[in-house]
């Protein structure tokens, strides 16, 4: 473990910072200046694609003015995240920041307005200091591209921080920011959270209102070959309470003139009262029909440790017998690669694509419409079958990742097919959760022999996001 990349992690978390801001013990400018300085100090991690210090400090000053103008006994009604530094992935537009999508094949334009998720995070008072590193168009489980330095794991900078939210996870794990809202279409919150020792919550489909605003009419009603929406937005944080705070900010609402609601954060106070959940442990993966899926000893030990702690907390943990459709690798890949067809690319610009994106695009173009339709039919049957199997349990417990984070450059050593295969072998139990559309959370549990955090994934039923946060709190507080 390279400890000098983690020298800021003892700083207060988001919730503690917020309360200090409201008490007047620290200013938003001070927190923002510290975050910008930390980003500069950790530049070797490739965390940020761009920083906008002046914009961030101006917003911090506005937050300080609002706090100062609010009587002390009324500050609890201020926006939930007011004055907290954060960041956004370089896949979304943030006013005043340039968006690259991690690609040389599209124009890099400075945004004049926020996309829906950055807009709601801004409305909640958080201050964006920069855009974080991603894979090209967010299509990979690592954060390396052709236009900026790779996002490196703060626990070992020679290894991957995961993806596609790798830059965001590295920024949090190194202590530059305390929490952020990221996106997850196949594991993009959970993979980097697990790789960097963080809590990452992927909400269920249609849970976060702003996600639906972003996608608009991108549904099967507009395109008969469109799959169910895979991508959702959720928090990455060092603690369950910080994750709950940011989750509340993107999901909670309140009547005009009433204090903002914090249901998830309030539920954490009752986390240790939760009892009697039936939890099934599964090492099954739908990719095992196409490739060897091998969980190393550290992955299995993390699951065993979580199972013991959940049993000790009054829950029923049993081995689950789950069998997935062996055709999953083929029909999921058909659906996954089709997303690149929605990206407007000039013919000359396609030569600027990275090899994985180009391969995905070629595969998608070569797939006949009837094959896509058949894949979608298989995918919907998979949803029904898997939902029924998981439904025997309140939660399903799995490893978060199968083995230690690969080294920087490992994914690019072979062909694009080898790249994709390594991703599926490393994170063999994440994409199916997006397909089914239920929530899931990753929680760090231990450290492997290479000094990297190892964790578990808990898959919940529809609407169980708060329960997942409560379980994460129990696991975290007993580590």
Which residues 6+ apart lie within 8 Å of 7 measured at CB?
A: 175
End-to-end CA distance of the chain: 19
Domain spans, the chain: 3-473
pLDDT digits (tens, 9 = 90+) for 70-97: 999 999 999 999 999 999 999 999 999 9
pLDDT of 11 reads 76
Q: In whole angstroms, what is the distance from residue 243 CA to residue 241 CA?
A: 5
Report residue 117 CA to chain centroid gap. 13
Kind plus residue range of the DSSP H or E element containing 396: strand 395-399
Closest to 352 in 3D by CA, of 361, 341, 365: 361
Q: In whole angstroms, what is the distance from residue 260 CA to residue 388 CA?
A: 36
Which residues 6+ apart lie within 8 Å of 17 measured at CB?
A: 26, 31, 83, 84, 178
**Which residues are known catalytic residues?**
89, 164, 188
pLDDT of 201 reads 99
The matching CATH number, chosen from 3.50.50.60, 3.30.470.20, 3.90.1300.10, 3.40.50.2000, for 3-473 is: 3.90.1300.10
Burial of 368 (0-12, 13-18, 19+ CB in 10 A): exposed
CB 261 within 8 A of CB 237: no
- Quote the tokens at residue 420: 């994709």
What's the mean pLDDT when you consider all of the chain?
94
Q: In whole angstroms, what is the distance from residue 213 CA to residue 233 CA?
A: 12
Which residues 6+ apart lie within 8 Å of 462 measured at CB?
A: 204, 437, 438, 439
pTM: 0.96
pLDDT band at 260 (very low <50, low <70, confident <90, very high): confident
Q: In whole angstroms, what is the distance from residue 184 CA to residue 232 CA?
A: 5
pLDDT digits (tens, 9 = 90+) for 410-443: 999 999 999 999 999 999 999 999 999 999 999 9
Which residues 6+ apart lie within 8 Å of 212 measured at CB?
A: 206
As a whole-number percent, the residues of the chain with pLDDT over 70 amount to 94
């Amino acid at each position: 473990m390279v400890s000098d990349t983690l020298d800021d992690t003892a700083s207060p978390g988001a919730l503690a910072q917020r309360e200090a801001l409201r008490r007047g013990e620290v200013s938003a400018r001070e927190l923002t200046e510290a975050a910008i300085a930390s980003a500069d100090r950790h530049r070797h991690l490739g965390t940020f694609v761009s920083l906008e210090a002046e914009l961030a400090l101006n917003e911090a000053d506005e937050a300080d003015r609002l706090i100062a103008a609010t009587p002390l006994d009324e500050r609890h009604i201020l926006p939930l995240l007011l004055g907290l530094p954060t960041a956004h992935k370089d896949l979304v537009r943030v006013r005043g920041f340039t968006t690259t999508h991690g690609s040389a094949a599209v124009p890099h334009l400075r945004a004049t307005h926020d996309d829906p998720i950055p807009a709601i995070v801004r409305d909640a008072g958080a201050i964006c200091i920069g855009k974080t590193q991603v894979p090209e168009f967010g299509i990979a489980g690592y954060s390396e591209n052709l236009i900026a330095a790779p996002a490196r794991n703060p626990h070992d900078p020679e290894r991957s921080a995961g993806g596609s939210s790798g830059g965001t996870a590295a920024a949090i794990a190194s202590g530059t920011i305390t929490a952020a809202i990221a996106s997850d279409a196949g594991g993009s919150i959970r993979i980097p959270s697990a790789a960097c020792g963080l809590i990452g919550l992927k909400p269920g489909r249609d849970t976060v209102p702003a996600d639906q605003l972003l996608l608009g009419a991108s549904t099967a009603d507009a395109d008969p070959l469109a799959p169910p929406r895979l991508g959702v937005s959720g928090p990455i944080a060092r603690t369950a309470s910080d994750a709950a705070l940011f989750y509340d900010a993107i999901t909670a609402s309140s009547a005009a003139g009433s204090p903002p609601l914090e249901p998830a954060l309030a539920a954490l106070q009752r986390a240790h009262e939760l009892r009697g959940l039936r939890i099934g442990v599964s090492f099954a993966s739908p990719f095992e029909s196409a490739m060897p899926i091998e969980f190393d000893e550290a992955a299995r030990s993390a699951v065993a440790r979580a199972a013991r702690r959940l049993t000790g907390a009054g829950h029923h943990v049993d081995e689950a017998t789950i069998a997935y459709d062996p055709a999953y690798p083929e029909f999921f890949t058909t659906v996954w690669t089709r997303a690149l067809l929605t990206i407007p690319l000039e013919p000359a610009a396609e030569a600027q694509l990275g090899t994985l994106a180009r391969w995905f695009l070629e595969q998608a173009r070569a797939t006949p419409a009837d094959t896509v339709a058949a894949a979608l039919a298989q995918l919907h049957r998979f949803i029904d079958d898997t939902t029924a199997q998981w439904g025997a349990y309140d939660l399903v417990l799995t490893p978060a990742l199968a083995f230690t984070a690969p080294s920087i450059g490992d994914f690019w050593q072979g062909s694009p097919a080898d790249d994709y295969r390594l991703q599926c072998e490393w994170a063999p139990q994440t994409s199916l959760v997006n397909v089914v559309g239920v929530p899931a959370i990753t929680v760090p549990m231990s450290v492997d022999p290479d000094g990297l955090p190892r964790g578990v994934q808990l898959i919940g039923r529809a609407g169980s996001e708060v329960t997942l946060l409560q379980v994460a709190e129990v696991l975290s507080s007993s580590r």
